[in-house]
Amino acid sequence: MERAELSFIEKSELQQCETIIEEGLRTFVDVGGALLKIRDKKLYRQEYSTFEEYCQSKWSISRPRAYQLIDSAKVIGNLSTFVDKTPDNEAQARPLTKLGPEDQVKAWAKVIETAPEGKITAKVVLEAAKEIQQERRAERRAERVETIIQETAEPIEGIGKYPIIYADPPWRYDFSRSTSREIENQYPTMELNDICNLEVVKIANDDCVLFLWATNPKLQEALLVIDSWGFEYKTNMVWVKDKIGMGYYARSQHELLLIATRGSVPVPAAEFRPSSVIYSDRDQHSKKPDGVYDLIEKMYPEYAKVELFARNKRDGWESWGNQL
């Protein structure tokens, strides 16, 4: 940015602001207000290319520190319209800078009401600010959840569209050590292309979470399925079994539960986010732990759910087989 000549009025304003800062560092409100004026009116531009350069060269303060002072001064301005008592120092004001003006007033009112013996500290303000932030996040999540529920389509082909899909595809393996161990002896399997081509979009809500089981050799294929079904991989959970299985490079004792999304589904509420590790005994061939149903239900209690390739009917869930 090129430097520019200041007008007489601008030079006068700059001098006034710098006098406040130089004498002042007396109160963070005065200093922050002066820095704000210098920044917004670009009064630094005659000698400095940027506001950051000005702060560093003139006052030996970093840009983040300058913004702390500016934002804290703004807090006082917002509060002074509604309350008589405002924060005594920047440490008390700073936690409120992460809130909007309305929430700053709400949090400060909470501080006044709850401060032990009326003693206001930065810690008390920080706790109040965090509480307001959590309330706002909960409100926004509830609004988004309600929108997704309302947007769920009318039933299609007797099934409907669902915000939660749980799937354990019948992966086909290219080899086995003996015919007695072939997967086909346990249940019918499907080729990768056939799984990818399943019209899952017919039952997937525009905003949807997919929980997809994948054995270790099928991880790459599972990611292809996620993409083919119109989802984006996010993370995974691991099921650690009590018994060790077969394997060519390492003997398998775990499976992966991949989590993918489409659209914009709120993450689970903090208190319902599970550990990424599931410990459960291995049951009959390929059967997944029943506790995973409970886990998903706790993560997303508000949404309708459907299971693909389901072996058994579960209360509160729709089931959809291979013939999509």
For 222-279, how does the pLDDT look when each residue is reduced to its tens digit (9 = 90+)? 999 999 999 999 999 999 998 888 888 888 889 999 999 999 989 998 889 999 999 9
- Bridge partner list, 210: 165, 260
Side-chain half-sphere exposure of 11, counting CA atoms within 13 A? 7
Asked if residue 187 has pLDDT above 70, the reply is no
Q: What average pLDDT is seen over the chain?
A: 85
Q: Phi and psi at residue 308, in whole multiples of 5°?
A: -90, 145
For the stretch 105-131, pLDDT in tens is 999 999 998 888 878 999 999 999 999
Q: How far apart are CA 135 and CA 68, in angstroms?
A: 24
CA distances from 154 to 151, 165, 220, 277, 308 (A): 9, 17, 34, 36, 19
What global pTM score does this model have?
Answer: 0.65
DSSP secondary structure string, 185-253?
A: GTS--B-HHHHHTS-GGGTEEEEEEEEEEE-GGGHHHHHHHHHHTT-EEEEEEEEE-SS----SSS---
**Mind listing the pLDDT tens digit for each residue in 11-46?**
788 877 777 777 655 578 888 989 999 999 999 998
Question: What's the Cα-to-Cα distance from 222 to each of 35, 119, 130, 167, rounded to whole Å?
Answer: 54, 57, 39, 11
